Amino acid sequence: MDFAAHSLPVRSVSESQSEMTELILPNDTNTLGNLLGGRLMHFIDLVAAMAAYRHARTHVVTASMDHIDFIAPVHVGDLLILKSSVNRAFRTSMEVGVKVWVENTIAGMHRHVASAYLTFVAIDSQGRRVPVPQLLPETGEEKRHFEDAGRRREQRQRELDRKRAMKPAEPAVEGTVRPGKTRE
Ligand SMILES: CC(C)(COP(=O)(O)OP(=O)(O)OC[C@H]1O[C@@H](n2cnc3c(N)ncnc32)[C@H](O)[C@@H]1OP(=O)(O)O)[C@@H](O)C(=O)NCCC(=O)NCCS
């Protein structure tokens, strides 16, 4: 892939910042009326994808979602508020940060319930990876997120390398051909 051949715009953080609000209904909850963790992860993936699309202006796929702590429960009838922004763009990937709050509709109180970092990879309509515009952090907070995202990328890369080194060779499945091998 010839990355140097592409001239891409540089985007600010505010160009891709996204927000989503969801009213939590019984279908989203467990038997105690608390929001299901998997449903929350789905909302996080959606709001993060919005920011990634707005930054890349092409198709994007979720490559990974980092560790998430569910800090406090969300109850049926609460409003869930999710905000996302691109923390840093690399070559074909971007780190998106998501912060989630709950608003109690009766008391009007807000509480932070979860945060997550996701990596999206930009692809074209044929599924080929494509370079993304670079991000220009402007405020002190945006610059801090930018630096932190660089450190997290190094950690992720170390973890990916470790997993690849530990992975045993895949056993051949009956009736299939391994890449690079011919069937006998
Ligand atoms: C994500 C995906 C495109 C990466 O493809 P790949 O062949 O492993 O690509 P590479 O190793 O060349 O990496 C491409 C970029 O993705 C990043 N990347 C790859 N795997 C990653 C991971 N697990 N976490 C974070 N970043 C990752 C690389 O750092 C690289 O970034 P850069 O171009 O900015 O330097 C591929 O694994 C894929 O298509 N996965 C399925 C995506 C999907 O379906 N998501 C929905 C989940 S249900």
Q: What's 128's domain CATH number? A: 3.10.129.10
Is 99 within a domain? yes
Q: Is 62's C-beta closer than 6 angstroms to any atom of ligand 1?
A: yes
pLDDT of 156 reads: 95
Q: Is 90's C-beta closer than 6 angstroms to any atom of ligand 1?
A: yes
- Number of domains into which the chain is organized: 1
Is 75 within a domain? yes
What is the 119 CA–ligand 1 centroid distance (Å)?
Answer: 8
The rounded mean pLDDT for the chain is 91
Task: List beta partners, residue 64.
Answer: 119
What is the 63 CA–ligand 1 centroid distance (Å)?
Answer: 5
Is 170 within a domain? no
Q: Is 152's C-beta closer than 6 angstroms to any atom of ligand 1?
A: no
pLDDT by residue (tens digit) across 114-165? 999 999 999 999 999 999 999 999 999 999 999 999 999 999 999 999 999 9
pLDDT of 168 reads: 81
Share of the chain above pLDDT 70, in %: 89
Q: Residue 59 pLDDT > 70, yes or no?
A: yes
Confidence category of residue 111, pLDDT binned at 50, 70, 90: very high
What is the 121 CA–ligand 1 centroid distance (Å)?
Answer: 6
Is 153 within a domain? yes
Is 184 within a domain? no
Confidence category of residue 8, pLDDT binned at 50, 70, 90: confident
Query: What is the tally of helices (H) and strands (E) in the chain?
Result: 2, 7
pLDDT of 169 reads: 75
Is 84 within a domain? yes
11-31 burial: b if 16+ Cβ within 10 Å, else e: bebebbebebebebeeebbee
pLDDT of 69 reads: 86
- The residue segments making up the domain with residue 92 are 8-163
Share of the chain above pLDDT 90, in %: 82
Is 176 within a domain? no
Q: Residue 183 pLDDT > 50, yes or no?
A: no
100 vs 168, higher pLDDT: 100
Other Cβ atoms less than 10 A from the Cβ of 6: the count is 11
Is 108 within a domain? yes
